[in-house]
Structures are given as C-alpha cells and as structure tokens.
Amino acid sequence: METAIRENVDVIGLSGLITPSLDEMVHVAKEMQRLKLNIPLLIGGATTSKVHTAVKISPNYSFPVVHVNDASRSVPVVSNLLSKDLRKPFIEELDAEYERVREYNKAARSEKQMLSYQDAIKNKELLFEENTEIIVPAKLGNTYFDDYSLAEIAEYIDWTPFFISWEMKGTYPKILNDPERGSEATKLFAEAQAMLKKIIDEKWLTANAVVGIYPANAVGDDIEIYKTDNADERELLCKFFTLRQQSIKASGMKNTALSDFILPKTQNKLDYVGAFALTTGIGIDKKIEEFEKDHDDYSSIMLKALADRLAEAFAELMHLKVRKEIWAYSKDENYSTQELVHEPYPGIRPAPGYPSQPDHTEKVTLFNLLDVTNKIGLELTESMAMFPTAAVSGLYLAHPQSHYFALGKIDRDQVSSYAIRKGLTLSEVEKWLGPNLIYN
C-alpha cells in the first residue's frame, strides 16, 4: 500500500491461491479503508469467488472491489474503472450486482439445508462386508525416488490443462485443429515441445518423489496409521482426519468422507493406506532467475507451466507404480498413457487442500510420515503451500468403489468435533475451512 501511494498506481490486485489468502484480502481492504485510499481493488485467484468478494471484502472498503474470475477479464475491468465515461455506470452496475449476491447469500444461509453431523454419519457409505478381500501390499514403508527420468515422466503429460493455463479452453489434441484457436495453439504447443526437450536434455529440473504404504483402519471419520502389519498390536503412528458431507442428499445418495473407503477398525482386520509427495521443481529457481534477468517473461511463464505439467504427470506415473508394483493391487491393468488421463483404474489419490479434504494442515502429518523435506527437498511454507511449487502430495486409497467428491458446506457441529479430534481451537480450524462453513 505504501508503494501504491508512492507510485500513484491506478489499481491494486490481490491473487489468492490457498484459503488463508481470503482472510488476508479482508485485512488488506480494511487497511486500505483506514488509510483512506481511493484506488480500485481487484480480487482473483483459485480460492476466491464473487460471493466471498461481495460478502466479505467489498463491505470493508468504500471504493470499488471487483472479483475477476479470469485473467483475461482484467483488461476490460481496468478499462472500465479508468474510463471517465464508463466508470460510473460500471460501478453502479457492480454495486447492484454485489447487493443481489449478498441478499441471495443471506437467504441461502437462512435456509440451511443441512443434516446434523450425527445424521450425516448415519448416512455414510457402507462399502465393507465381513468377507471383503484386502490386498496386502508388496512393499510396506517408504520408497524414495531420486532424480527420476524426466523423459519418462513427460510421456504421461496431460496437455489439456497446459492450454487452459494459457487461457485456451479446449481439449488436446482437438484444440490444435480448432477453427479459432488452432493456429495459435499449434504454435504454443511447438514452443512448449522445444522447451520441454531442453528441460530434459540439459537437466534444468530434478524430479524427486516418495511413496509410503502403511497398515491402517478407519475409526469414525478418521484414519489411523499403524507402525506394524499386525492387527493384534496396532501401534499408532499417526492419524489423518477426514471431513464428511453434510448437505441433504437425494434418496439413495450418501454423505461421504474419505474414511468410508478404509476398512473400519471394528472388523478386527487391517486395511492399508498410501501417501505420497513429489516435485519436478528442483532447480527451477535458477532458470527463472536467468530468464527474468534477460526480461524474458514468456520463457519464465512457459517453464513454470511445463514444470507444473511434469509434476502432475509424475503423480500419474507414481500412482501407476503403486497400483502395479509397490502396492500391486491392480498389477494386471494395461492402460495407455492417453487412457490414464481419464483415470479408469481402481483407487484414488485425494490431496489435502482439495475438494474432498480442504484442510491444508493435513499436509503436515503427511510430510512427517514420509520425511518429505529431508528426503526429497520439498518444503511446506507457513501457509501450507509446497515449495518448489511444481509439486503434488496426497493419499492413495485402493478400494474399487473409492471416488472423488466435493465436501461442500459443513456446519459448526462437525467443525467443533473436527477441532477437538485434531487438538486445535475452533478458530484455528475455521481459518482453513472458511469457504466450506455454512455459518461463515
């Protein structure tokens, strides 16, 4: 803000990647109001929304606060805000729209179409019979992969998200023949391939990973991880805490939690859970610094985009190794790399901070279990972001009926239970689950 005043800037933009950013944006708006600034504030990023902007941020600042849901929309929004002729009608329309959003949000919260937490538990998925077969992993404990072949990883790249990151919506390879975007997409793809070859040949990046498979059982909505493969001992190593959907479901639909996909401890038999963390970003800072020193922003952005794609491809490759070799619960599967994009295989790899479990702090348990930072050089920041950012971490669940789902809104009764089980205060948990709280 001091810089904004000194440089007499036209707008301030805030971009939020993870949940704590949302509270920080509210704080910034309040500070801008306290300093009596008259600079429009733009809000964007993965965790933001028009509702949060209208309900939580905008009321704290008397000048325009605009949610921009797509980077390409920044130009027309700023043009309207800076135009003498367009500014007033744009702000009036914005104020009216945000007022409608606030009223709708208020009405939706008052309806509160939620089950109690206990009723949601009663409607859980029941997937285990007394004779359910549990496949014992071929290898338990942690397996580390250092300096993994980038050439092999590249074979598993899903290119569709690459084009989306460049604001080109469409599926690969169809987008290359798109009548509107085809020419531009083909040129971008060729340049990406050229840089990818350099990344591999000149070893710009290093790929490291760790995979761990452990004995486990579900206890309520939590997953206990054990030190030894002995159902009679069950010496606790750590716990992963899960969250359950609380919205009222249509008949026959269940209120799901990730723990539903793990054999309950009450069946007196062990199940297994996998965990992983990986990065393809070791060494990226040096190259980014070189590009930025040469004012080559395009190459810098391209390298970051390719590093991210390699990280996701590495996650797909590691999951394949787990299914066929390390856990070996699906060792006879034979899918092409193109087919793997559609995840036709049994099992899932849910990640902390994503819709099934939006609490980023579960990464701390995962990182400790796998000794991630010491072994592969991947770190957690204080806001639970992974560094280098070209990274993926999560769990492996093998049940053939396991599936991804969005938690959605949850109520205070579940949040209180979750906080108690994790040994945290209510406010500490609410910090990370803000967008999922029906009462927030």
Three-state DSSP at 408 gives: coil
Name residues whose C-beta falls within 8 Å of residue 397's C-beta, 6 or more positions apart in sequence.
Answer: 258, 261, 262, 273, 274, 347, 348, 349, 350
Which residue type does 201 have? D
Q: How many residues does the chain have?
A: 440
Which residue type does 331 have? K
What's the pLDDT at 167? 80
What's the pLDDT at 147? 97
CATH number at 118-150+203-284+305-436: 3.10.196.10
* The pair of three-digit structure tokens given for residue 345, joined into one six-digit string: 């295989």
Q: What is the pLDDT of residues 227-275, one digit of tens each?
A: 999 888 899 999 999 999 999 998 899 999 999 999 999 998 999 999 9
Name residues whose C-beta falls within 8 Å of residue 260's C-beta, 6 or more positions apart in sequence.
Answer: 124, 125, 126, 127, 218, 254
What's the pLDDT at 109? 63
173: cis peptide before it, omega within 30°? yes
**pTM for the full predicted model:** 0.83
State the pairing for strand pair 236-241/222-226.
Answer: antiparallel
What's the pLDDT at 130? 77
**Taking the C-alpha atoms of 53, 56, 58 and 61 in order, what is their torsion angle to the nearest 10 degrees?**
-140
Q: CA 283 to CA 157: how far, in whole Å?
A: 20
Intervals of the chain under pLDDT 70: 71-72, 107-112
What's the pLDDT at 28? 94
CA atoms within a 13 Å half-sphere pointing along the CA-CB vector of 222? 17
Calculate ∠ Cα 20-240-47, nearest 5°.
25
Q: Which CATH superfamily is domain 2-111 in?
A: Cobalamin-binding domain (3.40.50.280)
Task: Say which residue the tokens 């190259």 belong to.
Answer: 287
Domain boundaries, the chain: 2-111, 118-150+203-284+305-436
What's the pLDDT at 51? 87
